[in-house]
Structures are given as structure tokens and as C-alpha cells.
Amino acid sequence: QKEVEQNSGPLSVPEGAIASLNCTYSDRGSQSFFWYRQYSGKSPELIMFIYSNGDKEDGRFTAQLNKASQYVSLLIRDSQPSDSATYLCAVGFFGNEKLTFGTGTRLTIIP
């Protein structure tokens, strides 16, 4: 059974601080890793993807991947109230379009 684990939260972070969201996965052969943001009542939107070990930065967002530890994280710098949402981690394999989603972490940015 392929599993993706996330702390459901809620995670509360003061505005302007760094929010750190974590995800672990069970299948060591996983190759592609995605972070989606889902606002209440809306569908998920893709924020970032990462395939290689290390960090990948895009604006205020940084994805970190450690395949040895089977761990992927998302850092949000200078957190804004508009970042308040549920963040979904998803894991997949190249050539297989199906993704396994975690249950999501609810993030609240406190003004």
C-alpha cells in the first residue's frame, strides 16, 4: 500500500514568519513530488513540483526533497494571510500519471 503521510494540523503561523509543511512517503521508488494548495470550497492548484534531492525555490516557496529519508517539505517565507489553505502533498512515478495524495495540512496564517 503506497502511503503519503501529512500532519493534518491545523498549523498556525504568524504573518511574516516561515511556514514549514512536511510530508513522508512509504514507497522508496517514488520519483515525482508535488505540492498543491486548496482553498476551502475550491479545487487544488499546483504550487510546486520537485524530482531531485535538494531544494527548489520559486518565489516565496521552497520545496525540499530528501529521498534517503523519504521526506519532502514545503517552506513558505514571509507568510501572508492569503496563504491560509490546506496544502496537499502528492507522490508519483515517471511514466505513471496516477498520483498518491496525502490527507493535507491545514495552514492558518495569523495576522
Partner 1 sequence: GAVVSQHPSRVICKSGTSVKIECRSLDFQATTMFWYRQFPKQSLMLMATSNEGSKATYEQGVEKDKFLINHASLTLSTLTVTSAHPEDSSFYICSAPTSTGAGEQFFGPGTRLTVL
Residues of the shown chain interacting with partner 1 in the complex, contacts defined by CB under 8 A: 32, 34, 36, 41-46, 49, 51, 88, 90, 92-99, 101-104
Q: Cα–chain-centroid distance for residue 49?
A: 9
Report the residue number, 33 or 109, with the smaller CB distance to partner 1.
33
Report the residue number, 17 or 52, with the smaller CB distance to partner 1.
52
Smallest distance from partner 1 to CB 1, Å: 11
Q: Check whether the bond before 81 is cis (ω within 30° of 0).
A: no
Please say whether the beta carbons of 93 and 32 come within 8 A: yes
Report the residue number, 95 or 111, with the smaller CB distance to partner 1.
95
Smallest distance from partner 1 to CB 29, Å: 13
Q: What are the residues whose beta carbons fall under 8 Å from the beta carbon of 41, sequence distance 6 or more?
A: none
Cell numbers linked to 78? 514571509
